[in-house]
Amino acid sequence: MPRLRRISVVKPSAQDFAEAAERHLDDVHAFLVYLTGDRSVAEDLTAETFARALERWRKFDPRRGSARTWLCQLARSTALDHFRSEERRRRREGRYALGGTDAPDAAFGEGLSPELEAALSRLSAAEREVLALRIILDLDGDSAARVLGISTSACSTRLSRALQKLEQEVTAGVAA
Amino acid sequence: MSQLELVQELRANRPVAPTELRERVLALAPPPPPRRFEPNLRRLVPAVAFAGLAAAVGVATVVGVVHGSRGPSVTSAKTSAPHGAVQTRKTAKSPVRANPTASLYADKALGVAPSTTRLQQYDAFLRVRVKDQSELSRRTQQALRFTRSLGGYVVSAKYSAPGTSGTSRLALRVPIQRVQAAIAVFSAYGVLVSQRITLKDLQQKVDALGIRIRRVRARIAGGEPGAQLERDKALLRRLTRGRQATTQRAQLASVALTMAVAAKHKRAAAPPGRFHRTLDDAGSVLVREFELLLYALLVAGPLLLLGGAAILASRSFRRRADQKLLERA
């Protein structure tokens, strides 16, 4: 007679969180680097994301998605809060551009060609985030769509357009 | 540079978190355990729904067990003694128990008394259950005789008795002063299943007709011979006929008496056992609870729908605003 497996929901512990942080820190950081286009801001937001994650770690349910997807959702929410506060600050100071053109060199990766680096900086955060999720983090379509809060097909369309635009920008940069 | 080459270059040069950041994140201290209860809606809602369901079933079971153990009630039959309806008491001993509404109607077997000072249209509908076909035949003949003895008459009579069942439908006219006696007697022919009485005041109509008749008479008395006079005379005839018909209608009450043979002693069989009574009572309580729930849903449904729509709209708005923000960034 086969033994019945007892199904139980184990609450994630602080030890689990340390392991998840160790395993997914690079992913969250890379995602935020692409989303913000600024390494120092990305580092601050990464730390803030993990601080929030630790507070909410008890609510994390592994049955509803992987820890990486959950952390990326938190990272995106943290970045959005940052963008909102930045926009308010800039509005107060009378600046209308949201930055991005004055991104520092080697913001996205150490070994990237200058043309690709410049092309990435010319993309919007919305375009860069889908590139980060699908290409850099190599998330599957469903997980990436869940992080972005859109359908899988919309996510694929967004990725295709972002890649197309990146290619155009690189080609234009090389020609210039 | 093709898209494939771009992807390869991006993957080969992905950003890596610096050591300081790693140390900073790993040094995060876990927050103290929450002091207050933090409700988790995803778990709370099913738990509350399950608890509600369990409570509903529990209440129904308790009510069923408590009522089921009391046994069939006989008090309602004993207290249902209608005025003058001696026969009803005799025949209603066991069937009334099965149909509590019958005792309710038996109490009111005399119906509503007609007014003695005003003209009224009185319509009574009675449905009486009799024991068997021979009783049906006997009671039908008695009803016809009794109506005539009261000074009334039979408008129509339909009698059919196929197999073991049978129905007798009588349309009767009874002098309005004696209609209460007729209702009491007809109700006592068996078990009074239903009774409906409608009263309509005709006095106002007759008074209005009288006023119009007086005016037309005055016009005729002072009028010149001619077409107008002829029209007035015709109108007077019509009004007089109308008043007579209305007055006549107010003198005779209409009684629709339906007598039917009861289903072949189904209810007279052995009373239901305790288990069945428990099941019946629990079932009726559950049905009542379901009705209340349905009513609450009907009342609160539109509000819940509005709330849900507002939440969805705000989420959609927020998502769109986020997307625009990211596109600007």
Record the pTM: 0.51
Best residue of A124, A157, A158 to probe chain B, by most B CBs closer than 10 Å: A124
Which residues in B213-250 are b (16+ Cβ under 10 Å) and which e? beebeebeeeeeeeeeeeebeebbeebeeebeebeebb
Report residue A142's pLDDT band, with 50, 70 and 90 as the boundaries: very high
Nearest to A75 by CA among A54, A46, A55, A36: A46
What angle do the packed helices A114-122 and B3-12 form, to 10 degrees? 100
Query: Does residue B189 share a domain with residue B164?
Result: yes
Q: Does A64 touch chain B (CB under 8 A)?
A: no
Cβ-contact A69, A146 below 8 angstroms: yes
Using an 8 Å CB-CB cutoff, list chain B residues near A21.
25-26, 28
Nearest to B115 by CA among B188, B204, B187: B204
CA-to-CA distance for B249 and A169, rounded, in angstroms? 99
Using an 8 Å CB-CB cutoff, list chain B residues near A14.
30
CA-to-CA distance for B1 and B135, rounded, in angstroms? 105
Cβ-contact A45, A36 below 8 angstroms: yes
> What string of DSSP letters covers B101-154?
HHHHHHHTTT-PPPPSSS-EEEEEEEEEEESSHHHHHHHHHHHHHHHHHTT-EE
pLDDT of residue A100: 46
**Sign of dihedral through CA atoms B312, B317, B320, B321?**
negative
CA-to-CA distance for B151 and A23, rounded, in angstroms? 104
Q: Do B13 and A170 touch (CB under 8 A)?
A: no
Q: Do A125 and B13 touch (CB under 8 A)?
A: no
Compute the average pLDDT of residues B27-35.
Answer: 70
pLDDT digits (tens, 9 = 90+) for B188-211: 888 888 888 888 888 888 899 899
pLDDT of residue A74: 94
Report residue A53's pLDDT band, with 50, 70 and 90 as the boundaries: very high
Best residue of A63, A83, A146 to probe chain B, by most B CBs closer than 10 Å: A83
Q: Does residue B85 lie in a domain region?
A: yes
> What string of DSSP letters covers B34-46?
PSS----HHHHHH
Decide which of B317 and B329 is more confident: B317
Q: What are phi and psi of B197, to 5 degrees?
A: -130, 130
Q: Does A123 touch chain B (CB under 8 A)?
A: no
Q: Do A29 and B17 touch (CB under 8 A)?
A: yes
Query: Does residue B52 share a domain with residue B156?
Result: no
Inform me whether the pLDDT recorded for B252 exceeds 70.
yes
Q: What are phi and psi of A75, to 5 degrees?
A: -65, -40
pLDDT of residue B33: 66
Q: Does B1 touch chain A (CB under 8 A)?
A: yes
What ipTM does the predicted assembly reach?
0.80
Q: What is the mean pLDDT of chain A?
A: 84
DSSP assignment letter at A124 = -
Query: Does residue B228 share a domain with residue B93?
Result: yes
Q: Does residue B132 lie in a domain region?
A: yes
Decide which of B222 and A103 is more confident: B222
Q: Does A51 touch chain B (CB under 8 A)?
A: yes
Query: Does residue B206 share a domain with residue B265?
Result: yes
Closest chain A C-alpha to B70 CA, distance in angstroms: 45
Decide which of B76 and B276 is more confident: B276
Q: Do B319 and A87 touch (CB under 8 A)?
A: no
Decide which of B266 and A60 is more confident: A60
Query: Does residue B217 share a domain with residue B285?
Result: no
Query: Does residue B280 share a domain with residue B222?
Result: no
Q: Does residue B306 lie in a domain region?
A: no
Task: Specify burial of residue B311 (Cβ count, 10 A radius: 0-12, 13-18, 19+).
Answer: exposed
Q: Does A170 touch chain B (CB under 8 A)?
A: yes
Q: Which amino acid is at B5?
A: E
CA-to-CA distance for B17 and B7, rounded, in angstroms? 20
Query: Does residue B215 share a domain with residue B205?
Result: yes
Nearest to B159 by CA among B134, B188, B125, B184: B134
Q: For chain A, first and last CA: distance in Å?
A: 74
Query: Does residue B123 share a domain with residue B67?
Result: no
Decide which of B327 and B262 is more confident: B327
Closest chain A C-alpha to B286 CA, distance in angstroms: 33
- Residue tagged 């996205």 (tokens): A108
Q: Does residue B7 lie in a domain region?
A: no
Query: Does residue B182 share a domain with residue B97?
Result: yes
Percent of chain B with pLDDT over 90: 18
pLDDT of residue A3: 47
Decide which of B156 and B116 is more confident: B156
Q: Do A136 and B325 touch (CB under 8 A)?
A: no
pLDDT of residue B269: 57
Q: Does residue B325 lie in a domain region?
A: no
Inform me whether the pLDDT recorded for A48 exceeds 90.
yes
pLDDT digits (tens, 9 = 90+) for A2-35: 444 444 445 566 677 888 888 999 999 999 999 9
Q: Do B325 and A111 touch (CB under 8 A)?
A: no
Closest chain A C-alpha to B325 CA, distance in angstroms: 7
Query: Does residue B240 share a domain with residue B120?
Result: yes
Q: What is the mean pLDDT of chain B?
A: 80
Decide which of B101 and A41 is more confident: A41
Q: Does residue B302 lie in a domain region?
A: no
Domain count across chain B: 2
Using an 8 Å CB-CB cutoff, list chain B residues near A65.
none
DSSP assignment letter at A135 = I
Identify the domain containing residue B245 by its residue range: 75-270
Q: Does residue B209 lie in a domain region?
A: yes
CA-to-CA distance for A117 and A123, rounded, in angstroms? 10
Interface of A with B in 76-105 (CB under 8 A): 80, 83-84, 87, 98-100
Query: Does residue B124 share a domain with residue B234?
Result: yes
Best residue of B5, B9, B21 to probe chain A, by most A CBs closer than 10 Å: B21
Query: Does residue B184 share a domain with residue B120?
Result: yes
Decide which of A113 and B102 is more confident: A113
Closest chain B C-alpha to A5 CA, distance in angstroms: 23
Q: Does residue B300 lie in a domain region?
A: no
Using an 8 Å CB-CB cutoff, list chain B residues near A9.
none
Inform me whether the pLDDT recorded for B5 exceeds 80.
yes
Using an 8 Å CB-CB cutoff, list chain B residues near A84.
325
In chain A, the domains with their CATH numbers are: 14-105+112-175 (1.20.140.160)
Inform me whether the pLDDT recorded for B268 exceeds 90.
no
For chains A and B, what is the number of CB pairs under 8 angstroms?
114
User: What are B293's two structure tokens?
Assistant: 């729930």
